[in-house]
Every structure is written in C-alpha cells, then in structure tokens.
Chains A and B, each alone.
Chain A
Amino acid sequence: MNSPLRVEALRKSFGDNEVVAGVSFELKRGECFGVLGPNGAGKTTTLRCCLGLTGADSGTITLAGEPVPDRSREARMKVGVVPQFDNLDPDFTVAENLRVYARYFGVSDAAIRARTAALLDFAGLPGKEDANIRQLSGGMKRRLTLVRSLVNDPELLVLDEPTTGLDPQARHLIWERLKRLLGEGKTILLTTHFMDEAERLCDRLAIMDAGKIIAIGSPRELIAAHIEPQVVEIFGEDAAGWAAQHAGNFAERFEVSGETAFCYLHDAKPLLAHLDAQDGLRYMHRPANLEDVFLKLTGREMRD
C-alpha cells in the first residue's frame, strides 16, 4: 500500500548535536498519527526533514509517493501544513489569504472563490471573507490557518502543535474539525505536548526522546505495554514520608514528585483501604493514562 509518509533510518545533526538519531515510522492512510516528546526531542526537526525543508544527513523519506528532498515541491503539492506559529498574511483579508495561498499550489482564483464560503464555514468563520487578519482572535487565526492548509485538498495534513496557546473552547473546536477531516479520509500527522489531545485524536502515537522513537503504538497499547493499569496519587505534606514507609507494601512501583506520591498498581483496593484509615492524606484513584506512560518513559526532569 502506498503510505502517505514513510521514514526510514532518518538522522540529522547540527554540529556535534545529533537531533534526530535514527527515526523510522510509517503512516497508514486515513489514520491520525501523533508524535509526542519533550522539548528538544527532535519532533520539529523530524517534521522539517519530512517536508524537505531541512536536508537529512542520512535516511530515506517518501512523502505522498515522492522521494524527499529530491522531489519535495511535488510532494508538498499533496500535503497541507499547519505551522506551530501562525503565519497568515497580515496585509490581506481572510478571503485574500486563501486566494493567494491557493495560487502557490497553482489553484485558479475561480476554483478557490467557489470553495471559499465552504472553507470559511468549516473554519467557523462564515461571512468573514473581508475581515482583516488583525481583527481575528487567536482561535480564529488557528482555524483560518487550518482551512488555508486545505486549499489544495491535501491527502496528508501535517500539524505542528495545533492547539498550543488556545483556550479550551478553541481547542475543542479544532479537535472536532480534525475528526471531521479524518472522517473524510484525510491522513493526519501531528505533534503535541498535550496528552489529552493525543489520547483523544490519535490512532497511533510515537513517543520521541533524545532524537529517537522510544515507543510506538495506539494509546491503549502504550498504556497496556508500559504501565500498571491503576494509579493512586497521594497528596499532602507527609506524602513523601508515607511513601518511604508504606508505598512499597502496596504498589508495584511508586514515584514521589514534590508533595505527591504516585503509586502504580494492578489492584488498588488494599491501598485504598489503608489510606482511608489514615488521617491527613488526601488521594485520588484513577486509571493509568498516557501522561503516566510519557513520564515513565521520558522522566520527570525539566527539559529546556
């Protein structure tokens, strides 16, 4: 089957710093594939290589059936990109932004005019054709950037942190639109820091750290493969002291971070009974999620 994007053994260094250190993955048509990773993991560089904007040191990339970087122009004809930071044209109105961007793909003015109203409806910006870009809110700009990436009716959409900096309402609207696009058969590749976004949208995920993919699979598979199914978080000033004494008796694995102890286990009942008998400790019992997997695999230390 022809995959919308196939990456094999990709490597890229800046000076002595190997930012991408042997990355391979393949997208299936119609899926949403997420790339997760702390800052500096190599996500953006990987995307830039895939689009042919940065030359890789080695490895092969096939984007939309075309070899990259040799035929990146042809490949990008069939791809839509939503960058991390909006780069709409402030000199143009909403409709002009779509028209000018469509020209870059060789789409005629008449063809894009015929689609403008439908695209703006999809963006939740009906009737805003003549609005100035500076009058749009952050969420509106994001949605306009999203439909701008659709002017060439791409088979693959690449989104770099599509909801960073948006309020919850705006994020939910973007998610809903991305799901609609998946329903229409588009393939989506996105990077994100938000675990809920990844869990909600992605069929499959790759977790990157230090230039490598360290885990790959569906959100459920990753949770099942890498972490105990139950989590009890214990809060309070004594949490650390309590954990040192007791956590090992109940949990298969535990971690202390600040004033919270995280206990990972298969059966939470004995621990919950014990905690109910204690004073001064509050707790929360929940199923394990992607964030637990992410923190286990990439560690809790800050990245810059």
Chain B
Amino acid sequence: MSYFAFPSFSVRAIAVWRRNFLVWKKLAIPSMLGNLADPMIYMFGLGYGLGAMLPAVNGLPYIAFLAGGTLCASTMNAATFEALYSAFSRMHVQKTWEALLYAPLALDDVVAGEWLWAASKSMLSGTAILCVIALLGFVHSPMALWVLPVIFLTGLAFAGLGLIVNALAPSYDFFMYYFTLVITPMIFLSGVFFPLDQLPEAARWMAYVLPLSHAVALVRPLLNGELPAHALLHVIVLAGIAITAFWVALSLTRRRLLR
C-alpha cells in the first residue's frame, strides 16, 4: 500500500471521536474556562486598553473589531493544541492509538477521528467565546450563527495542519517550532489585531494563503450582520486547506506507524 493512497475511513472514526469526547466531558468546565480565559484577556486588555486610544477601525469600535479576530485566533489555537499535544500523547505516550489499531479500526479511522475531534473541540471553545461576545453586545444579527460552521471549518484546517506536525514530531519540544515559526506570525499576518491594509504589500499577499486570514475575513462581517465579500472563495480556500492537510497528515502518519 502506498502511504499516499486515498483516505479510506469508516464510521468507526466516530468511536475515536466519542472516546475523546468522554475524556473532555470529565474536565469540561475547567477546559472551557481555560479556553475562554486567554481570548478574554486579549479582548479586554487590548480592546479596552488600547481601544480607548484608537479611533474606530473599519467603522467599528476597536473591541468590536478585535472580537472577530480573537474568536478566529482562539479557534486556531484550540484545534492546534488538540492536534499537537493531545494527539501526540495519545499516539506516542499513552499508546491509545495502538490500542485502537488492535480493534477493528484502520489508521485512517483513527486519524480521521482525531481530525474531526480537534475541530469539534475548537468549535466548542469558539462557541463559548461567541456567547461571551454576544453577551457583550457585539453581535448584531442572527447571521452571526453562520460563524459556527465557519469556525468548524477553520478548526478542520488547523487540525489537519497540526496533525501534519504531529506526524513528524519526535517529541513535545518540536511543537515549539511550529508555534514560534507558524502560528504566532500567522496571528499578525491575518488581520486579527489590525486590518490587513496596514501591512506592506508583500505581507498582504502572504496573508492570502494563510488560513487564518480567510477565517477572519468571514467571521468579522458575520458578527456585524453583513454578508462577507468573496464568501465562497474564502470557504473554498479553507476547505481546500483542510482536506489537503488532512490527506498529507494521514500519509505521513501511515509512514510513521505502519512500518
């Protein structure tokens, strides 16, 4: 079998998802609070602190502008953490994957289950943040509900990318490179804290290939009750990144584990 064969997963992938969900449920409240704390600190710290000194950004008070960006960035973080640290401990440290592979699951089922789970978990934390944003009064129409599928899709994209890194990682330390070299720069290049047109021309072009900038381009108008410009294009790019990344992650994981 070629490692790069077409993914062939079955409904058994759901059993993997349910296993992870059961673990999450045991620690749901501290986990949700942990996922909320970080974005809230940014939103209030920067939003009110820095926002007080700023004029409206793109016609919005700065904190309202920041809300959409923060929502996307924490979706990215939640999916990435799950696909790196949590998946790595299940794959490499606890040998949970090994136990799964002795049951009637193929590695494709396991990786697909992890991929869907990491996206679901990022959606759980994204939903919690969306609720807080709504309570603060920054949601202006029911169109904001379209944010939910967008954050799930964003979660799939970052879960796929994270699983690629997971498949290559010799140890937990390796993940630091990904955060420092990919995730952190992406936050600054994707319009989370400031509009993209503040960036120099070259950097702006780079933003077009970064999944986070497409998520931000969809979520920010939706929160404000507007239909995003080029919505279909952004969805296609995110979906394309999600599917390609999953396939590459699966191939690399097969190469790692099915020797």
Complexed CA–CA distance, A100 and B22 (Å): 9
Q: A69-B1, A74-B104 are in contact. Are A104 and B12 (CB under 8 A)?
A: yes
Partner of A87, one of B23, B26, B94, B258: B94
Contacts of B98 in A (CB 8 A): 83, 87
Of all chain B residues, which has the CB nearest A74? B104
Contacts of B258 in A (CB 8 A): 53-55
Residue pair B10, A103 in contact (C-beta under 8 Å): no
Contacts of A81 in B (CB 8 A): 102
Interface residues of A in 54-91 (CB under 8 A from B): 54-55, 69, 72-74, 76-77, 81, 83, 85, 87-91
Residue pair B95, A87 in contact (C-beta under 8 Å): yes
Interface residues of B in 1-44 (CB under 8 A from A): 1, 10, 12, 15, 18-19, 22-23, 26
Residue pair B96, A87 in contact (C-beta under 8 Å): yes
**Total residues of chain A contacting the partner, CB 8 A:** 28
Contacts of A294 in B (CB 8 A): none
Is B145 part of the contact surface with A, judged by Cβ < 8 Å? no
Residue pair A104, B100 in contact (C-beta under 8 Å): yes
Contacts of A73 in B (CB 8 A): 10, 12, 104-106
Is A188 part of the contact surface with B, judged by Cβ < 8 Å? no
Interface residues of A in 122-164 (CB under 8 A from B): 149
Contact with A along B85-116 (1 / 0, CB 8 A): 00000000011101111111110000000000
Is B230 part of the contact surface with A, judged by Cβ < 8 Å? no
Q: Least Cβ distance of B20 to chain A in Å?
A: 9
Partner of A76, one of B10, B26, B103, B259: B103
**Total residues of chain B contacting the partner, CB 8 A:** 23
Residue pair B95, A51 in contact (C-beta under 8 Å): no
Residue pair A92, B103 in contact (C-beta under 8 Å): no
Of all chain A residues, which has the CB nearest B98? A87
Complexed CA–CA distance, A194 and B101 (Å): 27
A-B contact pairs, 17 of them (CB 8 A): A69-B1, A73-B10, A73-B104, A76-B103, A76-B104, A77-B104, A83-B95, A83-B102, A89-B99, A91-B26, A92-B22, A92-B23, A100-B19, A103-B18, A104-B15, A104-B103, A106-B104
Kindly name the residue among B94, B101, B103, B104 whose own CB sees the greatest number of chain A CB atoms within 10 A.
B103
Residue pair B103, A105 in contact (C-beta under 8 Å): yes
Contacts of B94 in A (CB 8 A): 87, 89-90
Partner of A104, one of B1, B26, B104: B104
Q: Least Cβ distance of B179 to chain A in Å?
A: 25
Q: Least Cβ distance of B120 to chain A in Å?
A: 17
